[in-house]
Amino acid sequence: MFLKFLKKSLLIIIPAVIYCSIMGAVDSFNLFNSKLIPIEIKKKYAPLNYALWQIIDYNKNPVKNILIGDSRIGHLDCTAIEEAAHDQYYNFSLGGGNLQEIIDVFWFAESRIRLKNVYMSVNLEIYNKTNSRDRVEGAISIVSNPLLYFTNFNVLHAAYYDMKEYILTSAEKAAIGTPEMTINDFWNYQVNFAGTRLFSNYQYPDNYYFELSKISKYCKLHNILLTFLIMPNHTDIIKLISKFNLEKENNIFIKNLSTLGIVYNFNLINSLTKNKNNFTDPFHFKSTIADSIVSIVWKHSETKSNEFFTTNFRNQGH
């Protein structure tokens, strides 16, 4: 009876050990710092779960100055920011991120190190009760319990691509996050589907305002400078605010943020946001705009026309 039980157990244990050994060696999200697969390959497929990659990476080397937001904040040049601020920064850019994930990241980062400067990228489309997917909570759970790493589908999925590219160097590379359509078609898709979906389903986020208020109070208490960046979209997206009659909600949104910290509003209709050449798609700006944001926020300079942003609202508590 015992031998029969042992044989059945081994049929389960041995494959599990082999699987975990392979997954640990490939280490697609670099939890164990395995060097088998080059880091450049791993980074290519990290977009399968931006939150998991960033949480694992930050956990290894916490930094007291952080940027948190969706993919838009990732366009800011951290090197230029560090040169202007004379201090180290970490860019917590979460592709497809939302406000719940931004809030989770703040508390995770603060649990690892006493923060000094926090810059949150928040736009009306993510200051939205209906935008609530949360990948960060799961990523934090994996850092807390590494055994969960081996059961995560994104880890397995990325490991497949990692091994395929590493072993079959001539194989066709998977284009993660690259749209399978022309630039113009993707632009129209972002405006007419993605943008419309976000704004047409807008609901005022009482829960998010409450959570941000807690963060603001915590920052004041612990002398952490909290700054909100309302990132510039192309005017095709900005116009959706009026198309869906959300001007009042947008004003309330800006007013809400101004009670919580410093606010820079770059999401305005002007010569920069009207120019398609300044954007890769209607939600994502190029370096021309990114450099201006860094210059205004961290170098405290102004653009030639000074029309790029309205003003920065300073909460007197900071």
Residue with tokens 């590379």, as numbered in its chain? 173
Q: Record the pTM.
A: 0.90
Q: Give pLDDT tens digits for 125-140.
A: 999 988 878 899 999 9
Name which of 283, 290, 287 is nearest 237 in CA terms.
283
The boundaries of the domain holding residue 126 are: 2-313
Instruction: Return d(Cα 216, Cα 94) in angstroms, integer.
Output: 21
Q: Identify whether 269 is part of a domain.
A: yes
Q: Identify whether 318 is part of a domain.
A: no
Instruction: Return d(Cα 101, Cα 95) in angstroms, integer.
Output: 11
pLDDT in tens, the chain (318 residues): 656 655 666 567 777 788 889 999 999 999 999 999 999 999 999 999 999 999 999 999 999 999 999 999 999 999 999 999 999 999 999 988 899 999 999 999 999 999 999 999 999 999 998 887 889 999 999 999 999 999 999 999 999 999 988 888 655 566 666 677 888 999 999 999 999 999 998 999 999 999 999 999 999 999 999 999 999 999 999 999 999 999 999 999 999 999 999 999 999 999 999 999 999 999 999 999 999 999 999 988 765 444 555 544 444 333
Q: Identify whether 191 is part of a domain.
A: yes
Q: Identify whether 215 is part of a domain.
A: yes
Instruction: Return d(Cα 60, Cα 57) in angstroms, integer.
Output: 6
* DSSP structure class, residue 315: -
> Token pair of 287, please?
């370096």
Our count of domains for the chain comes to 1
Residue type for 117, please? Answer: N
Residue with tokens 């703040």, as numbered in its chain? 106
Radius of gyration of the chain (CA): 22
Beta bridge partners of 227: 119, 262
Instruction: Return d(Cα 195, Cα 189) in angstroms, integer.
Output: 8
> Token pair of 300, please?
């405290």
Q: Identify whether 158 is part of a domain.
A: yes
Beta pairing class for 90-93 and 65-69: parallel
Name which of 195, 208, 34 is nearest 104 in CA terms.
208
- The pair phi, psi for residue 87, each rounded to 5°, is -160, 160
CA distances 238 to 203, 227, 294, Å, are: 17, 22, 21
Instruction: Return d(Cα 315, Cα 226) in angstroms, integer.
Output: 10
Q: Identify whether 136 is part of a domain.
A: yes
Q: What is the CATH number of the domain that holds 245?
A: 3.40.50.1110
At residue 305, the pLDDT reads 41
At residue 299, the pLDDT reads 87
Q: Identify whether 186 is part of a domain.
A: yes
